[in-house]
Amino acid sequence: MQKSAFSINRNVFISSFLILFVLLIVAGFLTRVLPTGTFERHTIDGKTFVDFNSYRPLETKRLPIYRWFTAPIEVLLSPDGPRIVALLLLLLVVGGSFSILHETSVLNYAVFSLIVRFKNRKNLLIAMVTLVFMLFGSMLGLFEEVVPFVPIVVQLSLQMGWGEFLGLGMSILAAGFGFSAATFNPFTVLLAQSLAGLPAFSGLLFRILIFVAIYSLLIFFLLRYSKKFGRNASVNEQNIETVDSTTRRAFRTFVFFVILMVAVILIAFFFTALQTYLVPVIALIYLLMGFFCGLSAKAGFLNVLKIFSRGLLTILPSTLLILLAASIKHVVERGMVMDTILHRAVGLLGSGHIRVALMVYLIVLVLNFFIPSASAKAFLLMPLLVPIAQLTGLSRQVLVLSFIFGDGFSNMIFPTNPVLLISLSLASFSYFKWFKKTISLQILVFLVTVIFLIVAVLIEYGPF
């Protein structure tokens, strides 16, 4: 057996913890200095909408300071609790199962098989993997669902001699950027367009152009980074030729479950009822994959269970980071200042088509720090913004585009996004290092999307 697949570096954990703890204190401070207020909310067909004209100040007791620090527990009992629990479950299952795949050599065999095929076409490999993950985000709206694939791609990157960052770039960064460079994304494009009264997936050609531009930027960024490691990666091809029959059998089991996982994700795109349970279902498939691969490799049930437990315990500290990240939104909401922030932000929109479009982008961008969920922001913001767009004469299609841009790209830089933290934890990669390596790309993407927004206004991007 091999050593553990990964470990959570102490410095990585401490630095991430300190960032989130400071942000939690800042969120608590906001509940003390901002006036409390609320909108009236109406539920129609199970969906909650906000009446912008109903905002009123509240005279209420401030959130006690001690509740800033109990928030990581309280958030599990909040409306966001089920989603957070599902993500935590996914994180722990991936940690345990990935250890089984690693220590039984199944993952190494899978990775080396791919390396042998692409050892002389490394740039093509980067381009293909990145495109697949971007399409997952752009067309299917997948984000947290790709987390189980992150350690596999990171392992591939390590074996190619590129390091963890490129593996994260080809997987979760690509999925996150694809989610924002949305073409058919049901959680941003379809939902926002339906709330704005637009035909489903209208304006597609312009969004395809945006997708191509963002993909080109990301590929240029990743290929440029890969050049730091030189052209030749040390590949031990004997790993392919000398493996025993049990490893090959375990590899076939691995391939079966990967295909099953992808199939379930694709099916969920067409069956809305399955989307609610998609993360737990993927976690279950990943759990079964780990154990069946271990048993196929004849590691023995007790030994497989021991390896799984070791991997689970290794990743366990990261659950605290996820709870801290979720607590920031919880504190702001329970302190009754979230609606105050929203009310003041919308009041800054002003007039002029370009100004309104850019201000919507910035407002959604800021709120994404507190509310990572795209669908939650859509239900919260679109009913407020559509009347303002109509009053100013801004196309509703441009409004939706502003929302999409503001919602997604920052998911890959904001430390309050649990999916980013889970992915960094699985790769044992510091948030500080991630920020330093990706901030230039984020700035460039921001400038490019601002240009696209201005062009959309000038060409009267529509319909409506």
How confident is the model at residue 445, as a pLDDT? Answer: 97
- Which residue in 358, 186, 377, 177 sits closest to 265, CA to CA? 186
Secondary structure (DSSP) of 402-425: HHHHHHHGGGGT-TT-HHHHHHHH
pTM > 0.85: no
216-224: average pLDDT: 97
Largest Cα span, the chain: 73
pLDDT: which is higher, 23 or 408: 23
Mean of all residue pLDDT scores within the chain: 86
How confident is the model at residue 139, as a pLDDT? Answer: 86
Is the pLDDT at 5 greater than 70? The verdict is no
User: Mind listing the pLDDT tens digit for each residue in 399-438?
Assistant: 999 999 999 899 999 998 988 988 998 888 989 999 999 9
Is the pLDDT at 12 greater than 90? The verdict is no
- Report how far residue 283's alpha carbon sits from residue 273's, in angstroms, rounded to the nearest whole number: 17
Q: Which residue pairs from 314-317 have beta carbons closer than 8 angstroms and sit at least 24 positions apart in sequence?
A: 314/4, 314/6, 314/7, 314/8, 314/95, 314/99, 315/6, 315/8, 315/91, 315/92, 315/94, 315/95, 315/96, 315/425, 315/426, 316/92, 316/95, 317/8, 317/13
How confident is the model at residue 1, as a pLDDT? Answer: 41
